[in-house]
Protein backbone atom coordinates (compact mmCIF):
# COMPACT_ATOMS: atom_id res chain seq x y z
CA UNK A 1 0.00 0.00 0.00
CA UNK A 2 1.36 3.47 -0.93
CA UNK A 3 1.78 6.24 1.61
CA UNK A 4 -0.96 8.90 1.84
CA UNK A 5 -0.61 11.77 -0.63
CA UNK A 6 0.70 14.97 0.95
CA UNK A 7 -0.07 17.95 -1.29
CA UNK A 8 2.33 20.90 -1.25
CA UNK A 9 1.00 24.09 0.32
CA UNK A 10 3.10 26.13 -2.09
CA UNK A 11 5.25 25.42 -5.14
CA UNK A 12 7.30 28.62 -4.84
CA UNK A 13 10.84 28.07 -6.12
CA UNK A 14 9.81 25.00 -8.16
CA UNK A 15 9.86 24.79 -11.95
CA UNK A 16 7.18 22.86 -13.80
CA UNK A 17 7.20 22.03 -17.51
CA UNK A 18 3.89 21.19 -19.21
CA UNK A 19 4.27 19.64 -22.67
CA UNK A 20 1.15 20.49 -24.65
CA UNK A 21 0.47 23.42 -22.28
CA UNK A 22 -1.82 25.27 -24.71
CA UNK A 23 -4.26 22.37 -24.85
CA UNK A 24 -7.61 21.94 -23.14
CA UNK A 25 -6.63 19.93 -20.01
CA UNK A 26 -2.96 21.04 -19.87
CA UNK A 27 -3.82 24.78 -19.86
CA UNK A 28 -5.88 24.24 -16.68
CA UNK A 29 -2.88 22.43 -15.16
CA UNK A 30 -0.65 25.40 -16.07
CA UNK A 31 -3.08 27.68 -14.19
CA UNK A 32 -3.05 25.44 -11.11
CA UNK A 33 0.75 25.53 -10.80
CA UNK A 34 0.94 29.29 -11.42
CA UNK A 35 -1.62 29.70 -8.63
CA UNK A 36 0.56 27.54 -6.37
CA UNK A 37 3.51 29.87 -7.03
CA UNK A 38 5.61 27.69 -9.36
CA UNK A 39 7.43 28.90 -12.43
CA UNK A 40 5.68 27.21 -15.36
CA UNK A 41 7.01 26.52 -18.84
CA UNK A 42 4.48 25.43 -21.45
CA UNK A 43 5.56 23.90 -24.76
CA UNK A 44 3.11 23.52 -27.63
CA UNK A 45 2.97 23.55 -31.44
CA UNK A 46 -0.79 24.34 -31.53
CA UNK A 47 -1.61 21.25 -33.61
CA UNK A 48 -4.80 20.86 -31.57
CA UNK A 49 -4.31 23.49 -28.86
CA UNK A 50 -4.93 27.20 -29.15
CA UNK A 51 -3.07 30.43 -28.30
CA UNK A 52 -6.37 31.66 -26.80
CA UNK A 53 -6.08 29.02 -24.04
CA UNK A 54 -2.96 30.68 -22.61
CA UNK A 55 -3.40 34.29 -23.78
CA UNK A 56 -4.44 35.44 -20.30
CA UNK A 57 -1.28 33.91 -18.80
CA UNK A 58 1.26 35.50 -21.12
CA UNK A 59 1.85 38.55 -18.90
CA UNK A 60 2.33 36.40 -15.78
CA UNK A 61 5.88 36.83 -14.41
CA UNK A 62 6.29 33.12 -13.77
CA UNK A 63 4.98 31.88 -17.11
CA UNK A 64 7.11 31.07 -20.14
CA UNK A 65 5.81 29.74 -23.44
CA UNK A 66 7.87 27.89 -26.04
CA UNK A 67 6.25 27.27 -29.41
CA UNK A 68 7.77 24.00 -30.58
CA UNK A 69 7.04 20.49 -31.74
CA UNK A 70 8.34 18.42 -28.83
CA UNK A 71 9.56 15.54 -30.96
CA UNK A 72 11.40 17.75 -33.47
CA UNK A 73 13.04 20.44 -31.35
CA UNK A 74 15.98 20.13 -28.99
CA UNK A 75 14.39 21.83 -25.99
CA UNK A 76 17.71 22.35 -24.24
CA UNK A 77 18.35 25.43 -26.42
CA UNK A 78 15.19 27.39 -25.52
CA UNK A 79 15.49 26.11 -21.94
CA UNK A 80 19.08 27.35 -21.58
CA UNK A 81 17.77 30.81 -20.55
CA UNK A 82 16.17 29.25 -17.47
CA UNK A 83 18.08 29.29 -14.20
CA UNK A 84 18.17 26.08 -12.29
CA UNK A 85 16.62 22.75 -12.97
CA UNK A 86 13.15 21.57 -13.90
CA UNK A 87 11.46 19.84 -10.95
CA UNK A 88 8.28 18.43 -12.52
CA UNK A 89 7.46 17.45 -16.12
CA UNK A 90 3.92 16.76 -17.28
CA UNK A 91 3.88 14.84 -20.57
CA UNK A 92 0.49 16.01 -21.84
CA UNK A 93 1.18 16.72 -25.53
CA UNK A 94 -1.04 14.56 -27.69
CA UNK A 95 -4.15 15.10 -29.76
CA UNK A 96 -6.91 13.23 -27.94
CA UNK A 97 -10.02 13.60 -30.02
CA UNK A 98 -11.27 10.70 -32.17
CA UNK A 99 -11.66 13.01 -35.20
CA UNK A 100 -7.87 13.47 -35.10
CA UNK A 101 -7.25 9.71 -35.28
CA UNK A 102 -7.98 9.60 -39.02
CA UNK A 103 -6.63 13.10 -39.83
CA UNK A 104 -3.25 13.09 -38.07
CA UNK A 105 -2.49 9.48 -37.02
CA UNK A 106 1.25 9.74 -37.63
CA UNK A 107 1.61 12.96 -35.62
CA UNK A 108 -0.24 11.21 -32.79
CA UNK A 109 2.05 8.18 -32.94
CA UNK A 110 5.18 10.34 -33.11
CA UNK A 111 4.29 12.62 -30.21
CA UNK A 112 3.38 9.71 -27.93
CA UNK A 113 6.54 7.77 -28.83
CA UNK A 114 9.33 10.16 -29.87
CA UNK A 115 7.80 13.08 -27.93
CA UNK A 116 7.44 11.08 -24.72
CA UNK A 117 11.02 9.84 -25.17
CA UNK A 118 12.28 13.45 -25.39
CA UNK A 119 10.37 14.38 -22.23
CA UNK A 120 11.75 11.34 -20.38
CA UNK A 121 15.29 12.23 -21.47
CA UNK A 122 14.72 15.75 -20.16
CA UNK A 123 13.39 14.41 -16.85
CA UNK A 124 16.41 12.11 -16.55
CA UNK A 125 18.83 14.95 -17.24
CA UNK A 126 17.17 17.36 -14.77
CA UNK A 127 16.33 14.78 -12.11
CA UNK A 128 12.71 15.89 -12.53
CA UNK A 129 9.66 13.92 -11.52
CA UNK A 130 7.77 12.92 -14.69
CA UNK A 131 4.06 12.29 -15.24
CA UNK A 132 2.68 10.63 -18.37
CA UNK A 133 -0.88 11.54 -19.37
CA UNK A 134 -2.12 8.17 -20.58
CA UNK A 135 -5.70 7.29 -21.30
CA UNK A 136 -8.57 4.94 -20.57
CA UNK A 137 -8.18 4.00 -24.26
CA UNK A 138 -5.31 1.69 -23.23
CA UNK A 139 -8.12 -0.64 -22.09
CA UNK A 140 -9.56 -0.68 -25.66
CA UNK A 141 -13.08 -2.14 -25.79
CA UNK A 142 -12.92 -3.57 -22.27
CA UNK A 143 -14.36 -6.94 -21.21
CA UNK A 144 -14.19 -5.92 -17.53
CA UNK A 145 -16.32 -3.24 -15.85
CA UNK A 146 -15.46 -0.95 -14.26
CA UNK A 147 -11.82 -1.04 -15.33
CA UNK A 148 -9.24 -1.38 -12.60
CA UNK A 149 -5.61 -0.51 -13.21
CA UNK A 150 -4.62 -4.20 -13.17
CA UNK A 151 -6.75 -4.89 -16.29
CA UNK A 152 -4.36 -5.19 -19.25
CA UNK A 153 -6.87 -4.21 -21.91
CA UNK A 154 -8.54 -5.39 -25.10
CA UNK A 155 -7.12 -3.24 -27.89
CA UNK A 156 -7.40 -3.85 -31.63
CA UNK A 157 -3.84 -3.11 -32.83
CA UNK A 158 -4.91 -2.34 -36.40
CA UNK A 159 -8.24 -0.61 -35.77
CA UNK A 160 -9.01 3.04 -36.58
CA UNK A 161 -8.29 4.09 -32.98
CA UNK A 162 -5.04 2.14 -32.73
CA UNK A 163 -2.76 5.10 -33.59
CA UNK A 164 -3.86 6.60 -30.27
CA UNK A 165 -4.45 3.51 -28.11
CA UNK A 166 -1.25 1.72 -29.08
CA UNK A 167 0.97 4.81 -28.95
CA UNK A 168 -0.32 5.56 -25.44
CA UNK A 169 0.39 1.96 -24.45
CA UNK A 170 3.89 2.44 -25.89
CA UNK A 171 4.25 5.71 -23.91
CA UNK A 172 3.37 3.84 -20.70
CA UNK A 173 5.91 1.11 -21.54
CA UNK A 174 8.57 3.74 -22.26
CA UNK A 175 7.82 5.50 -18.97
CA UNK A 176 8.16 2.26 -16.98
CA UNK A 177 11.37 1.40 -18.87
CA UNK A 178 12.92 4.76 -17.95
CA UNK A 179 11.87 4.20 -14.38
CA UNK A 180 13.30 0.66 -14.23
CA UNK A 181 16.49 1.28 -16.19
CA UNK A 182 17.46 4.82 -15.07
CA UNK A 183 15.45 5.26 -11.87
CA UNK A 184 13.54 8.26 -13.27
CA UNK A 185 10.81 9.16 -10.76
CA UNK A 186 7.74 8.55 -12.91
CA UNK A 187 3.96 8.65 -12.55
CA UNK A 188 1.23 7.51 -14.97
CA UNK A 189 -2.39 8.65 -15.07
CA UNK A 190 -5.02 6.96 -17.23
CA UNK A 191 -7.45 9.76 -17.96
CA UNK A 192 -11.11 8.95 -18.59
CA UNK A 193 -13.45 11.23 -20.60
CA UNK A 194 -13.04 14.81 -19.49
CA UNK A 195 -14.98 17.91 -20.53
CA UNK A 196 -15.09 21.60 -19.76
CA UNK A 197 -14.14 25.07 -20.97
CA UNK A 198 -11.40 25.24 -23.66
CA UNK A 199 -12.47 22.12 -25.49
CA UNK A 200 -12.63 22.71 -29.22
CA UNK A 201 -16.29 23.12 -30.24
CA UNK A 202 -15.67 20.97 -33.34
CA UNK A 203 -13.42 18.34 -31.78
CA UNK A 204 -15.98 15.60 -32.29
CA UNK A 205 -16.20 14.48 -28.65
CA UNK A 206 -19.66 13.90 -27.35
CA UNK A 207 -20.08 16.73 -24.82
CA UNK A 208 -18.99 19.64 -27.08
CA UNK A 209 -21.04 18.05 -29.90
CA UNK A 210 -24.19 17.85 -27.82
CA UNK A 211 -23.80 21.28 -26.19
CA UNK A 212 -23.20 23.02 -29.51
CA UNK A 213 -26.08 21.19 -31.16
CA UNK A 214 -28.35 22.10 -28.23
CA UNK A 215 -27.23 25.76 -28.24
CA UNK A 216 -27.98 26.00 -31.99
CA UNK A 217 -31.31 24.20 -31.59
CA UNK A 218 -30.10 21.36 -33.85
CA UNK A 219 -30.90 17.68 -33.26
CA UNK A 220 -28.47 15.86 -30.95
CA UNK A 221 -26.87 12.93 -32.77
CA UNK A 222 -26.27 9.81 -30.71
CA UNK A 223 -24.31 6.94 -32.28
CA UNK A 224 -26.22 3.67 -32.33
CA UNK A 225 -29.15 3.61 -29.91
CA UNK A 226 -27.22 5.65 -27.33
CA UNK A 227 -27.13 2.80 -24.80
CA UNK A 228 -23.29 2.80 -24.69
CA UNK A 229 -22.04 4.42 -21.49
CA UNK A 230 -19.40 6.98 -20.60
CA UNK A 231 -18.29 8.67 -17.39
CA UNK A 232 -17.53 12.37 -17.68
CA UNK A 233 -15.19 14.30 -15.43
CA UNK A 234 -15.16 18.10 -15.24
CA UNK A 235 -11.72 19.46 -16.09
CA UNK A 236 -10.95 21.10 -12.71
CA UNK A 237 -11.71 17.78 -10.95
CA UNK A 238 -9.39 16.00 -13.38
CA UNK A 239 -6.55 18.46 -12.86
CA UNK A 240 -6.93 17.99 -9.11
CA UNK A 241 -6.59 14.22 -9.62
CA UNK A 242 -3.43 14.68 -11.73
CA UNK A 243 -2.00 16.88 -8.98
CA UNK A 244 -2.73 14.17 -6.37
CA UNK A 245 -1.02 11.49 -8.46
CA UNK A 246 2.04 13.69 -9.09
CA UNK A 247 2.44 14.00 -5.30
CA UNK A 248 1.82 10.32 -4.56
CA UNK A 249 4.80 8.02 -4.20
CA UNK A 250 3.40 5.32 -6.49
CA UNK A 251 4.93 4.79 -9.93
CA UNK A 252 2.23 2.42 -11.21
CA UNK A 253 -0.76 3.73 -13.26
CA UNK A 254 -3.76 5.45 -11.69
CA UNK A 255 -7.20 5.68 -13.28
CA UNK A 256 -8.53 9.21 -12.96
CA UNK A 257 -11.95 10.53 -13.84
CA UNK A 258 -15.44 10.65 -12.45
CA UNK A 259 -17.08 7.24 -11.91
CA UNK A 260 -20.66 8.51 -12.41
CA UNK A 261 -21.78 6.53 -15.47
CA UNK A 262 -24.32 7.82 -18.03
CA UNK A 263 -25.71 6.25 -21.15
CA UNK A 264 -25.05 8.57 -24.10
CA UNK A 265 -28.82 8.95 -24.53
CA UNK A 266 -29.26 9.99 -20.87
CA UNK A 267 -26.42 12.44 -21.31
CA UNK A 268 -28.11 14.00 -24.37
CA UNK A 269 -31.41 14.22 -22.48
CA UNK A 270 -29.71 15.94 -19.52
CA UNK A 271 -27.99 18.51 -21.77
CA UNK A 272 -31.29 19.34 -23.49
CA UNK A 273 -32.92 19.76 -20.07
CA UNK A 274 -30.12 21.81 -18.45
CA UNK A 275 -29.84 24.16 -21.45
CA UNK A 276 -33.61 24.43 -21.89
CA UNK A 277 -33.17 23.47 -25.56
CA UNK A 278 -35.90 22.31 -27.96
CA UNK A 279 -33.54 19.95 -29.78
CA UNK A 280 -34.52 16.33 -30.42
CA UNK A 281 -32.34 13.22 -30.28
CA UNK A 282 -31.56 11.33 -33.51
CA UNK A 283 -29.54 8.15 -34.11
CA UNK A 284 -26.48 7.78 -36.40
CA UNK A 285 -24.57 4.55 -37.21
CA UNK A 286 -22.19 3.36 -34.48
CA UNK A 287 -18.50 3.88 -35.46
CA UNK A 288 -16.21 0.83 -35.63
CA UNK A 289 -14.50 -0.11 -32.33
CA UNK A 290 -16.59 2.36 -30.32
CA UNK A 291 -16.27 1.13 -26.71
CA UNK A 292 -19.62 -0.04 -25.28
CA UNK A 293 -18.91 0.91 -21.69
CA UNK A 294 -16.46 3.21 -20.02
CA UNK A 295 -16.29 3.83 -16.30
CA UNK A 296 -13.22 4.37 -14.16
CA UNK A 297 -12.65 2.61 -10.88
CA UNK A 298 -10.76 5.36 -9.04
CA UNK A 299 -10.55 3.46 -5.74
CA UNK A 300 -6.76 3.17 -5.99
CA UNK A 301 -6.29 6.96 -5.91
CA UNK A 302 -9.01 7.45 -3.31
CA UNK A 303 -7.37 4.90 -1.00
CA UNK A 304 -4.27 7.09 -0.68
CA UNK A 305 -5.70 10.62 -1.02
CA UNK A 306 -8.66 12.82 -0.18
CA UNK A 307 -9.42 13.10 -3.88
CA UNK A 308 -13.02 13.08 -5.02
CA UNK A 309 -14.72 14.76 -7.99
CA UNK A 310 -16.90 17.64 -6.74
CA UNK A 311 -18.42 19.27 -9.85
CA UNK A 312 -21.87 17.87 -10.69
CA UNK A 313 -22.74 17.03 -14.29
CA UNK A 314 -25.37 19.77 -14.30
CA UNK A 315 -22.93 22.43 -13.07
CA UNK A 316 -20.19 21.23 -15.42
CA UNK A 317 -22.53 21.40 -18.41
CA UNK A 318 -23.60 24.94 -17.49
CA UNK A 319 -19.97 26.08 -17.17
CA UNK A 320 -18.97 24.44 -20.44
CA UNK A 321 -22.00 25.84 -22.29
CA UNK A 322 -21.13 29.31 -20.97
CA UNK A 323 -17.66 28.97 -22.50
CA UNK A 324 -19.08 27.94 -25.90
CA UNK A 325 -21.68 30.72 -25.80
CA UNK A 326 -18.98 33.35 -25.18
CA UNK A 327 -16.74 31.82 -27.84
CA UNK A 328 -19.47 31.97 -30.46
CA UNK A 329 -19.96 35.70 -29.69
CA UNK A 330 -16.31 36.51 -30.55
Ligand X SMILES: NC(=O)c1ccc[n+]([C@@H]2O[C@H](COP(=O)([O-])OP(=O)(O)OC[C@H]3O[C@@H](n4cnc5c(N)ncnc54)[C@H](O)[C@@H]3O)[C@@H](O)[C@H]2O)c1
**Residues within the interface to ligand X (CB under 6 A):** 20, 22-26, 43-49, 69-71, 92-96, 111, 115, 133, 135, 191, 193-194
Q: What is the distance between the alpha carbons of residues 111 and 40, in angstroms, rounded to a whole number?
A: 21
DSSP 260-297: -EEEHHHHHHHHHHHTT----EEEEPPPTT--S---B-
> Within a 13 Å sphere around the CA of 258, how many CA atoms are in the beta-carbon half?
24
Give Cα 184 to chain centroid, integer Å.
22
Pick from 37, 89, 42, 90: which is nearest to 62 by CA?
37
Nearer to ligand X, 49 or 226 (CB): 49
Q: 44 near 94, Cβ under 8 Å?
A: no
User: Is 164 in the active site?
Assistant: yes
CB of 94 to ligand X, least distance (A): 4
Nearer to ligand X, 53 or 213 (CB): 53
CB of 12 to ligand X, least distance (A): 26
Pick from 8, 11, 51, 71: which is nearest to 35 by CA?
11
Nearer to ligand X, 219 or 323 (CB): 323
Q: 147 near 296, Cβ under 8 Å?
A: yes
CB of 271 to ligand X, least distance (A): 17
DSSP 85-130: ---EEEE--S---HHHHHHSHHHHHHIIIIIHHHHHHHHHHHT-EE
CB of 329 to ligand X, least distance (A): 22
Choosing from 33, 71, 88, 164, the catalytic residue is 164
Nearer to ligand X, 95 or 316 (CB): 95
Q: What is the distance between the alpha carbons of residues 46 and 268, in angstroms, rounded to a whole number?
A: 30
CB of 242 to ligand X, least distance (A): 9
* Residue 194 DSSP code: E
Dihedrals phi, psi of 220, to nearest 5 degrees: -90, 125
Nearer to ligand X, 93 or 272 (CB): 93
CB of 70 to ligand X, least distance (A): 4
Nearer to ligand X, 32 or 96 (CB): 96
Give catalytic residue positions: 164
Amino acid sequence: MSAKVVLPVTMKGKTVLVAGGAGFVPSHLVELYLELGARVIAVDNFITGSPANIEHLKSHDHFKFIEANIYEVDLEKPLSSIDGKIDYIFSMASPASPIDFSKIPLEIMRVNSEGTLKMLELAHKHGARFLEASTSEVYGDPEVHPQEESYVGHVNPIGPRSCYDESKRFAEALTMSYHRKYGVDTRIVRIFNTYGPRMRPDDGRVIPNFINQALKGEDLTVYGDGSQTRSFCFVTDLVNAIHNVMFSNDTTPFNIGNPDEYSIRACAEEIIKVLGSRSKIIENPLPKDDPKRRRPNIGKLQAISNYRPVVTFEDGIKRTAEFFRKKSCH
